[in-house]
Structure 1
Amino acid sequence: MDHFPIYLSLADRRVLIAGGGEVALAKLRLALKTRAAIEVFAPAPIPAIAALAEAGRLTLHRRPLAHGDAHGAALVYAATEDTDEDAWIAAIGRAEGALVNVVDNLAASDFITPAIVDRDPVTVAIGTEGAAPVLARAIKAQVEAALSPLTGPLARIGKSFRTEAEALPQGRARRAFWAEYYDTAGPAAYAEGGEAAAEAALHALLARHLAAAAAPGRVDLVGAGPGDPELLTLKARRALDRADVVIHDRLVAPEILELARREALILDVGKTGFGPSTPQAEIDALIVEHARAGAHVVRLKSGDPGIYGRLDEEIEALEAAGIAWQVVPGITAASAAAAAIGQSLTRRGRNGTLRLLTGHDVKGFAEQDWRGLAAPGAVAAIYMGKKAARFLQGRLMMHGAAPETPVTVVENASRPDQRCLGTTLSRLPEVTASLEGPAVLLYGLAPRAAEARLEDLKEALS
């Protein structure tokens, strides 16, 4: 972004508007929503501006802005609708230390004024950096319709209660208190009895949340999916939004970690096949430690936590510590890899069973039912199989698998740098040797286009 959105304090500070026409009046109406000391410089202002001056809403100088006028001002608007005069006003404002906005001239402005949705003290600013003012107005209308008229009154009542709410521990406990007030308790009380009822609801709500704050935290064991943030489930997204602590594995995409609350503690406990790893016992202890301290912990695992994610061990540690938990399933990498090549993992007449295998486990290369896998038509999704490719090839061919059995290697499934490499069992090790990202081996499946060509060839030869 070229313009960083901030909220500037204008209480009792000077804001100058040079210009006396409709353009100046439009900026003036926005400035009047603040507590700024507003001054207008215009030799011949339109009646609406003069009326505001007579009502004491602003100070009107019936002359052009001149050197010395902008000293100590926070903002200067050049709104005369004359290009040369606006440039002169901008030069004065900058020379005297003010931020300058030249109306309808983005390149000459130090700041821009966004479209504003006003639910004082709640404000929503919408800017498009001058690219699409019509779009900004459309978004403003949508936000106006979505925000309840009670937003402002409830926010004012809540603001006056912030000191009392500090009795709650920082983090999860306070967020839960304010979320319940703004989402349900506050609106219901206000609708029933106005401000007095909403204030009373806050006191009752605080007492209940203070009692709950003494309870331990909770843990969500969440599947982050194969990497594409759009494949994250809604339940997983909500868990990330609530989490105080996110403990994630190595393969969780950075784009998904960006979805966590900004205040959340993010901890990387990644494991690398045949490389540096955080021991599982340390991960279990870390999860328990933060939950016992009252945090809402999200244990974030790539894919689905129940598939090669050490889920049972972490649940056992939580149950032993008496900590509440839930599992939030995710899309596993095998599903994303099969989707990438346009194939089903099961198909009538081809395979009625599907095997999910790991290329290696804690003891090394993993043994499997090689005879069953070597049978014609067998399909398997093999995780963590890059370094085990030659071992897999040898075991399968030793038990009768045909060298021309199709295998598709999908690297970085669902991510922007995804690659689908169709090969055969006989050539599998040379294909996997150059891979750097996480990969799923789809044994018994070829990319749809390759399979179609093979069927055509068989038909031509028959």
Structure 2
Amino acid sequence: MQHFPIFLAIAGRRVIVSGGGEAALAKLRLLLKTEARLCVFASAPAPDIRLWAAEGRLTLTERALAPGDAVSAALFYAANEDEAEDARVTRLAQAEGALTNWVDNLAQSQFITPAIVDRDPVTVAIGTEGAAPVLARAIKADLEARLPAHLGPLARIGKTFRKAVEALPMGRARRDFWSDYYFKTGPEHIVSEGKGIVERGLKTLLADHLSRRAAPGRVALVGAGPGDPELLTLKARRALDEADVVIYDRLVAPEILDLARREAKMIHAGKEGFGPSMSQSDICRLITDHAARGAYVVRLKSGDPTVYGRLDEEIDALEAAGLAWSVIPGITAASAAAAGIGQSLTKRGRNSALRFLTGHDVKGFAEHDWRGLARAGEVAAIYMAKKGARFLQGRLLMHGASADTPVTVVENASRAGGRTLATTLARLPVDIDSAALTGPAILLYGLSPRAAEAALPLLQKDHA
């Protein structure tokens, strides 16, 4: 991010525009919506600029900018549409302490003006750092259509009521009140009755919320999916947006953590096979302690919480503490990995059953029905198998599996930078070692990529 988005207070402060043509007009139409003191310097101003000056909406000086003109200005726009003149006035304004924007010259601008959706006092700013103005305009048009016109009046009325709402406890109680107001009570009243009814409705709504008992804590055990934020379910996305506390696993993608409510308390509770880990009893204690204090806790797990997610232990702890809980499933890594290599996990004539296995459990390398798995045509998704690859290979070969059985290892399934290693049972441990896989990986036993061009970047080994 090269440009950090902020909202600058400019009410009553000087904002200068140098130029009087179309570029200046475009900026002034936007700036006239603010409460800034607008000053225009132009030798030949457009008629609209003269009219706005006559109406007292801005101050017009009919000459080029000179030294001293930009002193105490908060913002400065160089909009002369002349490269030499814009370079000159930009240097002057910067020397006098103003933040400068050279219209249509990103490299020489200290700030940029985003595309804006105006529902005063609700403002949405859209920027692409100059990379895609057409995209910014398309997003603006989409948001203009989505955001109702009464959003601004609702926000203005709500602003006058914020002091009264401080009677509610901080946190969930206040958020629940404002959620009721903005998404239910407020829109219903303002559409049908108008501002006066909305204000009276606010008082009734506040009285209702003040009479309520403090909401008990609750816990959602949420699947974050394999890593691609677009594979997150809508229900999981909503839970992240509402959570007071998010307790997350090591493998949850940063892009998904970024979707959590900004004020939420974020707690890392990672586990790593054969590595440093937070104990399960400590994780259960974290979840129950926060929920017992009235928080909405999201326990965020990579993939699907019902697949090797220690779900039962956490549910047992919640029930023992008398806390409400729910499970929000996610897309498991096996599904994402199979999609990435263009294969089905089950196929008529090949395998009518699918096994989900773990490469290791609490006791070490996990034992399974090796004889059944060694039969031709069997397919298994094996989680946490990188370190146990040689153990898996030995057990399967010992029980009659063919050395040529295809095996595909998918690292960072669905994520940017994901990789696919296509190999065989005979080569599995050697190829995993040489590939130096560092991210989370799942092993698809009995499957090979449909085609290299349909898979993730392929690390197909040349064994010639």
Shifted more, 183-192 versus 425-434: the winner is: 425-434
Whole-angstrom distance in 2 between the partners of 1:338 and 1:2: 37
Does residue 436 of structure 1 match 2:453?
Answer: no
- The answer as to whether partners of 2:173 and 2:214 remain within 8 angstroms in 1 is no
**Cα distance, 1:282 vs structure 2:** 0.6
**Cα distance, 1:211 vs structure 2:** 4.7
How many percent identity over aligned positions? 70
Could you tell me which residue of structure 2 aligns to residue 16 of structure 1? 16
Could you tell me which residue of structure 2 aligns to residue 422 of structure 1? 422
**Cα distance, 1:135 vs structure 2:** 4.2
**Cα distance, 1:117 vs structure 2:** 2.5
Could you tell me which residue of structure 2 aligns to residue 112 of structure 1? 112
402 and 129 in structure 1: CA distance in 2 versus 1, 3 angstrom threshold: closer
Write 1 or 2 for the structure with the bigger share of helix.
1
- The answer as to whether partners of 1:169 and 1:213 remain within 8 angstroms in 2 is no
Shifted more, 178-187 versus 31-40: the winner is: 31-40
Could you tell me which residue of structure 2 aligns to residue 313 of structure 1? 313
Could you tell me which residue of structure 1 aligns to residue 389 of structure 2? 389
**Cα distance, 1:423 vs structure 2:** 3.2
**Cα distance, 1:301 vs structure 2:** 0.9
- The answer as to whether partners of 1:117 and 1:140 remain within 8 angstroms in 2 is yes
Residue type at the aligned position of 1:447: P
Give the secondary-structure state (helix, strand or coil) at the position aligned to 2:271.
coil
Residue type at the aligned position of 1:444: G
**Cα distance, 1:147 vs structure 2:** 1.8
Residue type at the aligned position of 2:370: W
Residue type at the aligned position of 1:201: G
- The answer as to whether partners of 1:39 and 1:60 remain within 8 angstroms in 2 is yes
Whole-angstrom distance in 2 between the partners of 1:51 and 1:444: 77
Could you tell me which residue of structure 2 aligns to residue 364 of structure 1? 364
Give the secondary-structure state (helix, strand or coil) at the position aligned to 1:385.
coil
Could you tell me which residue of structure 2 aligns to residue 323 of structure 1? 323
**Cα distance, 1:330 vs structure 2:** 1.1
Task: Give a deviation string over 1:128-187, Cα, whole Å, max 9, x none.
Answer: 444444444443333222221101100100111111222333333333322222122110
Whole-angstrom distance in 2 between the partners of 1:139 and 1:367: 53
Could you tell me which residue of structure 1 aligns to residue 303 of structure 2? 303
**Cα distance, 1:83 vs structure 2:** 3.8
Whole-angstrom distance in 1 between the partners of 2:241 and 2:173: 14
Does residue 232 of structure 1 match 2:232?
Answer: yes
Could you tell me which residue of structure 1 aligns to residue 54 of structure 2? 54
- The answer as to whether partners of 1:228 and 1:415 remain within 8 angstroms in 2 is yes
- The answer as to whether partners of 1:181 and 1:202 remain within 8 angstroms in 2 is yes
Give 5+ residue unaligned stretches, structure 2: 453-464
- The answer as to whether partners of 1:168 and 1:213 remain within 8 angstroms in 2 is no
Residue type at the aligned position of 2:13: R
Could you tell me which residue of structure 2 aligns to residue 94 of structure 1? 94
Could you tell me which residue of structure 2 aligns to residue 151 of structure 1? 151
Whole-angstrom distance in 1 between the partners of 2:423 and 2:27: 65
Task: Give a deviation string over 1:84-143, Cα, whole Å, max 9, x none.
Answer: 433333233222222233334434433333333222112223334444444444433332
Shifted more, 189-198 versus 39-48: the winner is: 39-48
Residue type at the aligned position of 2:188: A
Could you tell me which residue of structure 1 aligns to residue 375 of structure 2? 375
Residue type at the aligned position of 1:247: I
Could you tell me which residue of structure 2 aligns to residue 29 of structure 1? 29
**Cα distance, 1:308 vs structure 2:** 0.9
Whole-angstrom distance in 2 between the partners of 1:20 and 1:427: 72
Could you tell me which residue of structure 2 aligns to residue 404 of structure 1? 404
425 and 201 in structure 1: CA distance in 2 versus 1, 3 angstrom threshold: same
Q: What TM-score does the superposition give when structure 2 sets the normalisation length?
A: 0.89
**Cα distance, 1:212 vs structure 2:** 4.8
- The answer as to whether partners of 1:173 and 1:213 remain within 8 angstroms in 2 is no
Whole-angstrom distance in 1 between the partners of 2:63 and 2:179: 51
Task: Give a deviation string over 1:172-218, Cα, whole Å, max 9, x none.
Answer: 33333222221221100111211112122222333333455612222
Could you tell me which residue of structure 2 aligns to residue 246 of structure 1? 246
Whole-angstrom distance in 2 between the partners of 1:345 and 1:367: 22
Give the secondary-structure state (helix, strand or coil) at the position aligned to 2:15.
strand
* Equivalent residue runs for 1:122-141 within 5 Å: 122-141=122-141
Does residue 448 of structure 1 match 2:450?
Answer: yes
**Cα distance, 1:295 vs structure 2:** 1.7
Could you tell me which residue of structure 2 aligns to residue 340 of structure 1? 340
- The answer as to whether partners of 1:222 and 1:329 remain within 8 angstroms in 2 is yes
Task: Give a deviation string over 1:370-429, Cα, whole Å, max 9, x none.
Answer: 332233332222222233333333333333333333333333322333333333333333
Give the secondary-structure state (helix, strand or coil) at the position aligned to 1:356.
strand
Give 5+ residue unaligned stretches, structure 1: 451-462
State how many pairs are aligned: 450
Residue type at the aligned position of 2:286: L
Does residue 185 of structure 1 match 2:185?
Answer: yes
Could you tell me which residue of structure 2 aligns to residue 293 of structure 1? 293
Give the secondary-structure state (helix, strand or coil) at the position aligned to 1:448.
coil
Whole-angstrom distance in 1 between the partners of 2:191 and 2:371: 70
- The answer as to whether partners of 1:382 and 1:440 remain within 8 angstroms in 2 is yes
Whole-angstrom distance in 1 between the partners of 2:95 and 2:145: 42
- The answer as to whether partners of 1:359 and 1:365 remain within 8 angstroms in 2 is yes
133 and 356 in structure 1: CA distance in 2 versus 1, 3 angstrom threshold: closer
213 and 89 in structure 1: CA distance in 2 versus 1, 3 angstrom threshold: farther
**Cα distance, 1:281 vs structure 2:** 0.7
**Cα distance, 1:22 vs structure 2:** 4.4
Could you tell me which residue of structure 1 aligns to residue 205 of structure 2? 205
Whole-angstrom distance in 2 between the partners of 1:84 and 1:394: 75
